[in-house]
Amino acid sequence: MNPFRYIDSNMKNLVSDLQLLIRQPSVSAKNEGIEECSKLVKKLLAKSGVKSEILRLKKGVAPLVYGEIKSKSNPARTLLFYNHYDVQPAEPFELWDDPPFSGKVKGNKVFGRGSADDKGELITRIKAVEACLKTTGDVPCNVKFVIEGEEETGSAHIEDYLKKYQKKFSCDGVIWEFGYVDSKDRPIVGLGMKGLLFVELSVTESIRDAHSSLAVLIKNPAWRLIEALKTLRDENGKILIKDWYKDVVPFSKTDLDIISKEPFDEKSLKEEFGVDSFVGNLRGLDAKKALVGGATCNIAGIVSGYTGEGAKTVLPGTALVKIDFRLVPKMDPKKQVMRLKNHLKLKGFSDIDVKVFHGEAAARTDPSDPFVTQVKEAADESYGKSIINVSNAGTGPMFSFADILKSPCISIGSTYMFSRIHSPNEFARIDLLKKTTKCICLIMEKFGRS
């Protein structure tokens, strides 16, 4: 039996192992089930024939699961799979059709928080290695698994892990934790990630909530916050903070060439979210350029006062907003925080407290790297056709991997682009899980031979 046949006949096992992973909640934002999930991942690796260990930094930091298997045929080439076992919070619970940690299968879909991001991706890689081992008794190249537990809160310690275990993790190429499949079932070969700066701004006007009749005299922190927020961004999404875009590197000719070739299903995207137009009325190439290289200032959450049912005439004491800024190459998160703080000060908002949750720089792999060709070929063979993407619109700690391991990083995977990751009713498509498992086998082969 060859690995592909093995994968075809073992999809039931893949799905049930994915269900096991989903049923173990692992919400890093709430430190819920993290230890338990790391142990479960170690167990699944062992079941597939991969020896692993749980690495730790210090108390309070999520453990990292590290797996390794040496190749007898190509011991000189090492491929590293980067994944994460933690998931986003499942709120709002009431919008899920089934419980978020049920792992319910309906037709071609496995539902649940983490089904796609990132437990689905992880299972394809484990099962690809298993398929090689069970059918050939070997892997086509050395394989390393680096599976962290803090990705969804911003990978606060992956850099420390990479620095501490730089030698252990050394490799010649990194397959990124996820990869998207577009609306026409074409996998995206992703060469980059945006950076992220996540902050919380809060303001307190009075030491306690008051009856709202006092609003003639006592200041309202929600109004204060709104006044500050309005200075950050114009209605077309342009960030108004001084020098915010100063360090941004413009697209190269090659970048623009790849972007212009990249298909973009504008209609499907609009339909998925039920919208008529995009931010700033962007369309076509401009919308594509924004996805690849646009910086944002997004309100991820805002809250003040009474938000339950009915009316409550209260004057709240405090208000807070959570903002994520996506960053693009050469924007330094630390510098951008300073710019934000300076802006607030200059605009007279020194009373607004800025708490930085985390900062992450953007990263991109050179499109001319041979690793890009190997992954692209594997994707074309397993899916029919794949697409190169200069940078994903999302964020991951790719900068740290590229910088510390000195390896090219490429994302390729099984996540259907409308899988509702981070949202209610997240799902993974079983047909894509199968194709991606095969694709990972091909990548190992091509990479081992090179």
Residue numbers 47-86 binding a second copy by CB under 8 A: none
Of residues 421, 430, 432, 443, which one binds a second copy by CB under 8 A? 421
Q: Is 393 one of the binding residues for a second copy (CB under 8 A)?
A: yes
> In the beta sheet, which residues pair with residue 147?
65, 83
Per CB under 8 A, the list member of 12, 76, 216, 253 interacting with a second copy is 216
Nearest distance in Å: CB 206, a second copy = 4
Tokens of 200: 């919380």
CB of 310 to a second copy, least distance (A): 3
What letter would DSSP give residue 227?
H
Q: Would you put residue 185 in left (φ > 0), alpha (ψ -120 to 50) or beta?
A: left
Residue number, 92 or 137, with CB nearest to a second copy: 92
**Of the ranges 9-17, 244-252, 379-387, 390-398, which one interacts with a second copy (CB under 8 A)?**
390-398
Query: Between residues 211 and 242, which has the closer beta carbon with respect to a second copy?
Result: 211
- Of 60 and 308, the one with the shorter C-beta distance to a second copy is 308
Rule CB under 8 A: choose which of 68, 121, 324, 445 binds a second copy. Answer: 324
The reply to whether 11 sits near a second copy by the rule CB under 8 A is no
Starting at the edge strand found earlier in the chain, the sheet holding 353-360 runs 318-327, 195-204, 353-360
- Going from the C-alpha of 180 to that of each of 88, 118, 399, 418, 426, the distances in angstroms are 18, 11, 19, 9, 14
| Helix (H) or strand (E) run with residue 195 in it | strand 195-204
Q: Does 194 bind a second copy (CB under 8 A)?
A: yes
Contact predicate 389/262, CB 8 Å: yes
- In the bound state with a second copy, the residue whose beta carbon lies nearer, of 60 and 274, is 274
Q: How far is the CB of 155 from a second copy (least distance, A)?
A: 11
Site for a second copy in 152-181 (CB under 8 A): 152-154
Q: Which residues of 280-301 are buried (b: 16+ CB within 10 A; e: fewer)?
A: eebeeeebbbbbbbbbbbeeee
Q: Which is nearer to a second copy, 20 or 356 (CB)?
A: 356
Collapsing DSSP states into helix, strand and coil, what is residue 116?
Answer: coil
Compute the least distance from the CB of residue 319 to a second copy, in Å.
7
Nearest partner of 191 among 428, 13, 379, judged by Cα: 379
Told to check if 357 binds a second copy by CB under 8 A, we report yes
Question: Any residues with CB less than 8 A from the CB of 262 and at least 6 apart, and which?
Answer: 288, 387, 388, 389
211 in contact with a second copy (CB under 8 A): yes
**Shortest gap between Cβ of 196 and a second copy (angstroms)?**
7
Nearer to a second copy, 143 or 193 (CB): 193
**DSSP conformation letters of 275-291:** -SS-GGG--HHHHHHHH
Going by C-alpha positions, the residue among 436, 442, 435 that lies closest to residue 375 is 442
Task: Please state the closest distance from residue 231 (CB atom) to a second copy, in A.
Answer: 10
Question: Can you tell me which of 212, 268, 373, 450 binds a second copy, judged by CB under 8 A?
Answer: 212
- Interacting residues with a second copy between 423 and 442 (CB under 8 A): 423-424
Q: Would you count residue 131 as binding a second copy (CB under 8 A)?
A: no
Q: What is the DSSP string of 45-98?
A: HHHTT-EEEEE--STTSPPEEEEEE--SS-TT-EEEEEEE--B-----GGG-SS
Q: 136 or 206: whose CB is closer to a second copy?
A: 206
Of 320 and 443, the one with the shorter C-beta distance to a second copy is 320
Site residues (CB under 8 A) for a second copy, limited to 263-322: 269, 273-275, 278-279, 282, 287, 290-291, 294, 296-316, 319-322
CB of 314 to a second copy, least distance (A): 5
213 touches a second copy by CB under 8 A: yes
Question: Contact with a second copy (CB under 8 A): which of 5, 106, 219, 330?
Answer: 219
Question: Quick one: 213 or 254, whose CB is closer to a second copy?
Answer: 213
Q: Is the Cβ of residue 307 or residue 368 nearer to a second copy in the bound state?
A: 307
Instruction: List the one residue out of 97, 130, 107, 100 whose CA is nearest residue 22.
Output: 100
Map tokens 């993407």 to a residue: 389
Q: Is 34 in the site for a second copy (CB under 8 A)?
A: no
Q: Which is closer to a second copy, CB of 76 or CB of 217?
A: 217
**Dihedral sign, CA of 134, 137, 143, 149?**
positive
* N-terminal to C-terminal alpha carbon distance within the chain: 25
Give the largest Cα separation in the chain, rounded: 79
CB of 171 to a second copy, least distance (A): 26
Which of 73, 273, 305, 276 lies closest to 205 in space, CA to CA? Answer: 305
